[in-house]
Amino acid sequence: MKTTAVRSLRTGLTFGAVNVFLILIGFNAMIGILLAKALGAQVITSIPAVPYLAAYTGLIGLWSGLSAAWKCKGTGVACSVLAGFISGLAAGAITFLFCLGIGWLLVSRIDFRNYLTILSFDFISGVLMGFPPLSGALVNLGILAASGATGGLLNGAVHVSCGKRLGQHITAWVRTVTGKVRGFNHGKGHLAFQIGGIAILAAAVIFLPLNWGSYWNYVAGTVGLYVILGLGLNIIVGLSGQLVLGYIAFFAIGAYTMALLNSPVPHNLMWGFWPALVLGVLLAALAGLLLGLPIIRLRGDYLAIVTLGFGEIIRILLKSDVLTDFSGGPRGIQNINGPTLFGRPFNSDIQFMYLIAVAVVLAAFIYNRLQRSRTGRAWLSIREDETAARACGVNATRYKLLALALGAAFAGLAGAIYASRNQFTGPEEHSLMASINVLSLIIVGGLGNVPGTILGAFALKGLPEILREFANYRLLTFGALLVFMMLSRPDGLIPSRRPVYRTPEESKPDGNEPEGNNVS
């Protein structure tokens, strides 16, 4: 009982601190506005009406109560409610102190916006629900404590009616569903499952772009290009186990090759799309090879920082005045010509969408074949233990260079299409953040497999576009989600399965180890 109380108190204090932080970044106002819009109310100002802010506070309290009751060791409803109440009260206490603080600012008319940018007087009185400081703080405390207790009650009620706690119930349900799907995929229905899936996907790829409108085609195209990038990086990181942080440099090489050969300024070469595409891919592969030659001895994080440096070198060179005459400098290159096929120019997003879809399918096909080939197995052996691989006669140097060159070629392909589609490329598109995005997407999706890469690309490039409502909070949420993802699913959304050697006599179904990918 005592430990439950202490634990709930701790949960509550954490939630209180988080609540204060969320208020300080204005998250409560955004949630309030979303609620108001959802209920059909008119929102004119940036600060929603008091009831919605109260609803936000209630939600936080509810969550804190739920999570405290969740951890509660005791079984009774009373215990659950008590845990929720304690947690809500603790969260309320912190919020109470905070409210007193900002209330004092309001009363003594100190404009604090220069330091904490959100604290305008209107906002403060909104947080205090329009009351004077002390009673406003008390109202916050009351709402949090009451909703905390409600959360506890809810958890207890579900627990009593279902026999299990809410969370366990949900996870158990999810597990059965995924188990069923997986079983279907492996059983007799395997082929039908695959054909059906591919048919649905193909239909979606063919018909969706026509009916989407250009914005969604643009988003989907970006996702597709990131799938290609992800597959390329997967060859390097996922298959051959070399951590490369400056991957976007190869993308930049592809993009700039396309731009320089197909734009009126600065060189007016106008080679056309297809030769430039091929040359971009080749040049990117060559760059991968040239980067790889001196540094192939490096392992792990040394390799990571060197490639990071390489990426930065490329970006800074492109950005500096030194190369302005050659590559446009900081302003980049505009008016890049699009491709033509059988004399017809590509000019709409739909056509580009199809081009990207073809490129994605091609990349996925090559990736899949490589993974299952002798080369793929050699990469795998290098990834697991380079010394042992060398001892077994695998030419590690050659295979590692091959992985770098192939991965870079994928990036070159994506870069060339990207530049041609956007009709623009500039140095800031190729910053370190872009490399990190690609790395994040393959790890979030699941290192080393195609479906994981596609899912990761959707999650990391598609979701932010969909979540436009969050505008300012997009990157914040992205960072928090990245941490959360790694904590909850370190192997990614779709973990790779290790290839298992099965002898015909031993017909054990599925001997895959729980430990997924071990890149070391």
Partner 1 sequence: MNETLPISITRKGVNLLKFLRPVLGAIILLFIVYRLSQVLFVQHTYGPETWTRLIIAGLIIGSVYALIAIGYTLVYGILFMINFAHGEVMMLGAYTCFFVFEAFKNIKVGTDPVLTFSNAYPVVSIIIAFILGMSVSALTGYLLEKIAYRPLRKAPRLVPLISAIGASIFLQNAAQLLFSPQLRDVANPEILARGAGWKILINGSSVTIPYTGVFTFLLSLLLLVSLYIVVQKTKFGRAMRAVALDKKTASLMGIDVDRTISLTFLISGALAGAAGVMWGIHNSMVYYYTGFIPGIKAFTAAVLGGIGNLPGAMLGGLFLGIIESVGPAALGIDFQLKDVVAFLLLIVVLTFRPSGLLGEVLAEEKV
Residues that bind partner 1 (CB under 8 A): 21, 24-26, 115-118, 237, 243, 293-302, 304-306, 308-310, 312-313, 316-317, 320-322, 387, 390-391, 393, 395-398, 401, 432, 436, 439-440, 443-444, 447, 472-473, 475-476, 478-487, 490-491, 516-520
Q: Please, which residue, 73 or 398, has the CB nearer to partner 1?
A: 398
Neighbours of 441 (CB within 10 A): 27
* CA contacts within 13 A on the Cβ side of 465: 15
Q: Which of 249, 295, 298, 237 is nearest to 414 (CA)?
A: 249
Q: Please, which residue, 77 or 105, has the CB nearer to partner 1?
A: 105
Least distance in Å: CB of 481 to partner 1?
7
Q: What whole-number distance in Å separates Cα of residue 249 and Cα of residue 51?
A: 50
Least distance in Å: CB of 64 to partner 1?
17
Least distance in Å: CB of 380 to partner 1?
15
Least distance in Å: CB of 321 to partner 1?
6
From first CA to last CA, the distance across the chain in angstroms is 45
Q: Do 410 and 228 meet the contact criterion of CB atoms below 8 Å apart?
A: yes
DSSP string, 239-268: IT----S-THHHHHHHHHHHHHHS-TTTT-
Q: Please, which residue, 260 or 460, has the CB nearer to partner 1?
A: 460
Q: Please, which residue, 179 or 490, has the CB nearer to partner 1?
A: 490
Least distance in Å: CB of 189 to partner 1?
32
Q: Please, which residue, 171 or 520, has the CB nearer to partner 1?
A: 520
Q: Which helix (H) or strand (E) holds 340?
A: strand 340-341
Give the C-alpha distances (Å, rounded to integers) separating 512 from 407, 500, 502, 508.
Answer: 27, 7, 10, 10
Q: What whole-number distance in Å separates Cα of residue 152 and Cα of residue 89?
A: 12
Which is it for strands 344-345 and 340-341: parallel, antiparallel or unpaired? antiparallel
Q: What whole-number distance in Å separates Cα of residue 246 and Cα of residue 83?
A: 49
Least distance in Å: CB of 487 to partner 1?
5
Q: What whole-number distance in Å separates Cα of residue 143 and Cα of residue 89?
A: 9
Q: Please, which residue, 216 or 470, has the CB nearer to partner 1?
A: 470
Q: Please, which residue, 217 or 449, has the CB nearer to partner 1?
A: 449
Least distance in Å: CB of 323 to partner 1?
10
